[in-house]
Amino acid sequence: MEILLVIIIGLLYAAGIYMILRRSLVKLIIGLILLGNGANLLIFLLGRIVKGHPPIIGSTEKALADIYADPLPQALILTAIVISFGLQAFAIILVKRAYKVVKTDDLDEMNATDEDI
């Protein structure tokens, strides 16, 4: 399974970078999202994947015992997902605003600095 996930990570990175290199702002945002997903999966995988043992302490126990999924990467990823949502939401609205003002989402045409908003 790790091999498959590794391939998906590579694919997500490749797709993300390809999209970021495009001239369209919408594609740029999609690229960012894909890249973010790739990074999340990378962290997740590097904490090693464990099936069926979520890091939740049993009702009768006081600490995690035996095999359990690593809680640390999960905490990191949770933070990352939420933060990237903030970024995405802001970026999407910004693109929309920018398009309203300059009538393009082509990065190459957005080169004037003194537009009135």
Partner 1 sequence: MLLAILAGFILALFMPSLIKGLKGKSTIAVALLPFSLFVYFISFLPRISAGETIEFHWDWVPSLGVGMDFYLDGLSLLFTLLITGIGTLVFVYTSSYLKGHQYLDRFYAYLSMFMGSMLGVVMADNIITLFIFWELTSISSFFLIGFNNDSEPSRKSALTALGITGFGGLFLLAGMVTLGFITEEFQISSLSAMSGEIHAHELYPWVIGLVFIGAFTKSAQFPFHFWLPGAMKAPTPVSTYLHSATMVKAGIYLLARFTPVLGNHPWWNTTLIIIGGITMLYAALHAIFRLDLKGILAYSTISALGILTFLIGLGTTAALTAAAVFILVHALYKATLFLITGIIDHETGTRDVSKLAGLNKVMLPVGIAGLLAAVSNAGIPPTFGFVGKDLIYEATLHFDSMAWVLTGAAIITNVALLFAGFLAGIKPFAGKLPKAYAKVHLPPAAMWVPPMILAVLGMLFGMIPPLVDGPLIKPIVSALTLRTPDFHLHLWHGFNVVLALSVATIATGIALYFFIKPSEALLGRATRFEAISPHSLVRGLGRGVTWFSEKWTNFLQNGYLRYYLITILSFLTLLLAYRLFLGVEIYVDASTLSEITIYEAIIVTIMASAIIFTVFTKSRLAAVAAMGVVGYSFCLIFLFYSAPDLAMTQFSIDTLTVILFVLVIYNLPKYLNLSETRDRIRDGLLALVFGALISVLTLEVLNETVEKDISTYYAEQAYLLGKGKNVVNVILVDFRGFDTMVEITVLAIAALGVFSLLKLRLKSIEKE
Which sign, positive or negative, has the C-alpha torsion 41, 47, 49, 53? negative
The answer to whether 51 contacts partner 1 (rule: CB under 8 A) is yes
The answer to whether 64 contacts partner 1 (rule: CB under 8 A) is yes
Closer residue to partner 1, CB minimum distance, 1 or 114: 1
Residues 1 and 51: beta-carbon distance below 8 Å: no
Q: What angle do CA 110, 115, 117 make, to 5 degrees?
A: 110
Q: In whole angstroms, how close is the CB of 19 to partner 1 at the nearest point?
A: 6
> What DSSP character marks residue 106?
B
> What DSSP character marks residue 109?
G
The answer to whether 32 contacts partner 1 (rule: CB under 8 A) is no
Q: In whole angstroms, how close is the CB of 114 to partner 1 at the nearest point?
A: 15
Name which of residues 65 to 104 contact partner 1 (CB under 8 A): 68-72, 74-75, 77-79, 81-83, 85-90, 92-97, 99-100, 104
Size of the site for partner 1 (CB under 8 A): 88
The whole-angstrom separation of Cα 75 and Cα 55 is 11
